[in-house]
Amino acid sequence: MAPNARISRPKFQAKLPHFLLLLLLSLSSSSGYGHDYSDALRKSILFFEGQRSGPLPPDQRIRWRRDSALRDGATAGVDLTGGYYDAGDNVKFGFPMAFTATLLSWSVIDFGRNMGPELGNALKAVRWATDYLLKATAVPGVVFVQVGDPLSDHNCWERPEDMDTLRTVYRIDRDHPGSDVAGETAAALAAASIVFRSRDPGYSRLLLDRADELLWGAAWLHKASRRREYREYIVNNEVILRAGETINEFGWDNKHAGINVLISKEVLMGRADDLRSFQNNADGFICSILPGISHAQVQYSPGGLIFKAGGSNMQHVTSLSFLLLAYSNYLSHSNHIVPCEGRSVSPALLKQLAKRQVDYILGDNPMRMSYMVYAFGQSYVVGLLLPVPSSTVFGACDLAGSRRGIGYGARFLIPAPVVVRPLFCWFLPLVLFASRPPSLTLVLVDRRSTCWCFPISPNG
């Protein structure tokens, strides 16, 4: 155990192109691409099973995966088996994993009724993360936040099933604080407690009793417990914790847009007028992401994909699309619209912008290529950077001559490099569109550019 070591920051690697595209929003009866959202939803949730760590359950659907990392936590005298591997390595980062659990829970809370037969698998995905987070918070006053050293991990390329070295464990406590990961862990446990409130009351109470910290965590704790002190914390710390800054950012390392959208539901339903500033921030987020608004801060690629500077662009696409759909749902139920520089933005318009992003990922893009993790459609990315199936990637094939991997059958088809983090909220748009495909469609003005899942020039 290395409590004094600096906790490594997870990194994103994949990059996508840059610049603004004007989109023409119009009415139409169909998309013209006919994507099978139900199949995409199923494969997106299945991906989490491919990233599982620890002893696998009998109902594990990806059968070639085996138990792995069964001694995690041993160097600290605790059990830290389970959870999810983070990216193209075997490290378990508590911060992004907790955010994954939070967003999965939010998806189930708001849209679980639309998941059909995939609801059970979504619940298992949530619980696989929260079971691990309960282990990570089992020692009073301590949160174990990371298992594995990224430097040594990247220097030893191997399947998790083949690891035989005891792994370094990192923790936060009073002497080694880490409020960001503590708050995210609290948010995850509180959000999941809502998911299991009626399904498993005892487990729900355990999750809620373990959670507590900061504004994002306080928002979920208030939603889960309705205790006044959490509401007061939100009101008193809105300015101090800068909820109104970077309102168009949302991801594992910046929660501002998510905080505002989450709390806005209470305001729109008439239950929290003293929190109206959060709704104003959420409206500002919507205006900043809409193409064609003069003060828009979010850029689009020439092909129509949301683009944010930094790595792994799909994390921004999926997380912002998540918020568009969630806020659209809240606006619809409260009969509200968003005013943007004299224009009235309807909930239906927000759904269409989110749908456009989903369709782009599934193949409605200049390359006519699906960027899903699993093989989807007729053309898809097949490069990979992932040690899980590496025993077969480097030359070994099955009887059919195909590479094994996370995909169905014997095929391994995954973008390079892959990370769990962009997938946490990717399946929410699929949930909505799989259950009731919308009748409105976004029409592209320009299809001239190409878009790759690999690092290229911003002007590409």
- Let me know if residue 42 belongs to a domain: yes
- Let me know if residue 100 belongs to a domain: yes
Beta bridge partners of 442: 25
Stronger pLDDT, 437 or 444, i.e. the higher one? 437
Look at residue 221 in the predicted model and tell me its pLDDT.
62
Look at residue 332 in the predicted model and tell me its pLDDT.
95
Look at residue 431 in the predicted model and tell me its pLDDT.
58
Neighbours of 38 (CB within 10 A): 17
Domain limits for position 124 = 23-444
- Let me know if residue 457 belongs to a domain: no
- Let me know if residue 203 belongs to a domain: yes
Q: Which helix (H) or strand (E) element contains residue 19?
A: none
**Cα–Cα dist 129/48, whole Å:** 10
Quick check: 202 pLDDT over 90?
yes
pTM for the structure as a whole:
0.78
Q: Residue 2 in contact with residue 169, Cβ under 8 Å? A: yes
Q: Which long-range contacts (CB under 8 A, 24 or more apart) does 113-117 make?
A: 114/431, 114/432, 114/434, 114/435, 114/436, 115/41, 115/431, 115/435, 116/38, 116/434, 116/435
For residue range 28-87, what is the model confidence (pLDDT) as tens digits?
223 445 788 888 888 888 889 989 999 999 999 988 899 999 999 999 999 999 999 987
Phi-psi region of 54 (alpha: psi -120 to 50; beta: other; left: phi over 0): left
Look at residue 25 in the predicted model and tell me its pLDDT.
24
Helices (H), 305-459: 314-334, 347-362, 390-393, 427-435
Quick check: 375 pLDDT over 70?
yes
**Cα–Cα dist 438/456, whole Å:** 33
Look at residue 387 in the predicted model and tell me its pLDDT.
54
**Cα–Cα dist 139/152, whole Å:** 27
- Let me know if residue 451 belongs to a domain: no
Q: Residue 427 in contact with residue 45, Cβ under 8 Å? A: yes
- Let me know if residue 454 belongs to a domain: no
- Let me know if residue 6 belongs to a domain: no
Share of the chain above pLDDT 90, in %: 35
Share of the chain above pLDDT 70, in %: 67
For residue range 84-105, what is the model confidence (pLDDT) as tens digits?
998 767 999 999 999 999 999 9
- Let me know if residue 396 belongs to a domain: yes
Q: Residue 105 in contact with residue 188, Cβ under 8 Å? A: yes
Look at residue 23 in the predicted model and tell me its pLDDT.
25
Distance in Å from the first CA to the final CA of the chain: 45
Stronger pLDDT, 125 or 393, i.e. the higher one? 125
Quick check: 425 pLDDT over 90?
no
**Cα–Cα dist 124/130, whole Å:** 10
Length of the chain: 460
CATH code, domain carrying 64: 1.50.10.10
**Cα–Cα dist 360/348, whole Å:** 18
Number of domains in the chain: 1
Buried (b) or exposed (e) across 386-399, using 16+ Cβ within 10 A?
A: bbbbbebbeeeeee
**Cα–Cα dist 311/85, whole Å:** 19
**Cα–Cα dist 120/46, whole Å:** 12
Beta bridge partners of 452: none
